Amino acid sequence: MQDQSSGRASLAPLGVRTWIVTNGAAGFEAQALGVAEALGVEPELKRVNPPPPWRWLAPWGFAAPDSAIAPPWPDLVIASGRQAIPYARKIREAAKGHAFVAVLQNPVVSPTQFDFVWAPEHDQLRGPNVLSTLTSPHRLSPQRLAAEAAKLSAVTERLPHPRVAVLLGGSNAVYKLSEDAASKIADMLVMLLDDGAGLMITPSRRTGESQQRIIRDRVVGRAAVMWDGRGNNPYFGYLGSADAVIVTCDSVNMVGEAAATGKPVYVIELEGGSPKFRRFLDGMYARGAARRFEGRLDNWQPVPLNATGEIADAIAYAFHARRT
């Protein structure tokens, strides 16, 4: 069945009982919730935390006993993250065809063990029940961006146009945001301020205190606001308020969410990287969804990318196909 207002396939009219299974990590849960919202279902969250040795054996081993993962089985399971994989496999086997099991992210084990698998293109996973997209699913929507932007209007409306959201990640397993890199980022942001732009900057926990201080000291007193880590992160409000977005390259989710806004996206490439990240970033540039940030804003119209609806459609069609 299709939601006529959105043009997407919807499971809402069927009253599909849905579980989301994750280890509680915010990133995995947000992706699964975004897909569930696009499907029109109201999921029940099942957070699993297997103890050793089950944790070490995931995704290949058996599911640890968990009272939350027990019959009656749901109609639809959306599982995300390696620790959720043994539970997804257990549910599919125990439900004997009743539960449609969709997995988000590369399960590492064979996709044939599930009904549907989404994996990012840079993982290069293939299979008849596998959908790959360049960007990841998320919970962004025009309505949410507008609502979050409205909450910040008293602050952001004082900033000149173009208003630029600056999303700072930080060091991870493959990238490094050093103090020297933070200083170079600050130099480029000052160039934008000198050109008359207004900046809305939000760091993450990975940015680093000294790196944040370097940037904050350079923009303080200018046409810029920078989140100090207190209260709710204004991330979505800044995205909704922005005319353009600058984002560090270390998070596929952050870059993808920026691209979903339909606004010009500029990527700050940090020191380091990996073949997977390289494939992802090059794909974003090749699709016209983002450009590498060189210290200036260009006049261009990006190609918006929003995988959430595409993934939800694919799950809904596969779900219907199995029930008919």
Domain ranges of the chain: 2-138+308-323, 142-292
* Cα four-point dihedral sign 204, 233, 141, 18: positive
Of the candidates 41, 245, 243, which has an alpha carbon nearest to the alpha carbon of residue 159?
A: 243
Q: pLDDT at position 114, please?
A: 97
Residues 6+ apart with CB under 8 A from 84: 21, 22, 23, 28, 48, 103
pTM: 0.88
Q: What are phi and psi of 247, to 5 degrees?
A: -140, 140
H/E element holding 175?
A: strand 175-176
In this prediction, residue 81 carries a pLDDT of 94
Task: Tell me how far apart the alpha carbons of residues 233 and 87 are, in angstroms, rounded to a whole number.
Answer: 32
At 2, the amino acid letter reads: Q
CATH level 3 topology of 142-292: Rossmann fold (3.40.50)
DSSP code string of 130-144? EEEESS------HHH
Q: Decide if 74 contacts 17 (C-beta within 8 A).
A: yes
Are the folds of 2-138+308-323 and 142-292 the same?
Answer: yes
DSSP alpha helix (H) spans, 21-171: 26-39, 54-57, 85-95, 142-151, 153-156
Per-residue pLDDT of the chain (324 residues), as tens digits, is: 444 334 456 787 788 999 999 999 988 999 999 999 999 999 999 999 999 999 999 999 999 999 899 999 999 999 999 999 999 999 999 999 899 999 999 999 999 999 999 999 999 999 999 999 999 999 988 999 999 999 999 999 999 999 999 999 999 999 999 999 999 999 999 999 999 999 999 999 899 999 999 999 999 999 999 999 999 999 999 999 999 999 999 999 999 999 999 999 999 999 999 999 999 999 999 999 999 999 999 989 998 888 999 999 999 999 988 876
Looking at the domain that runs over 2-138+308-323, which CATH code has it been given?
A: 3.40.50
The predicted structure's pLDDT at residue 4 = 36
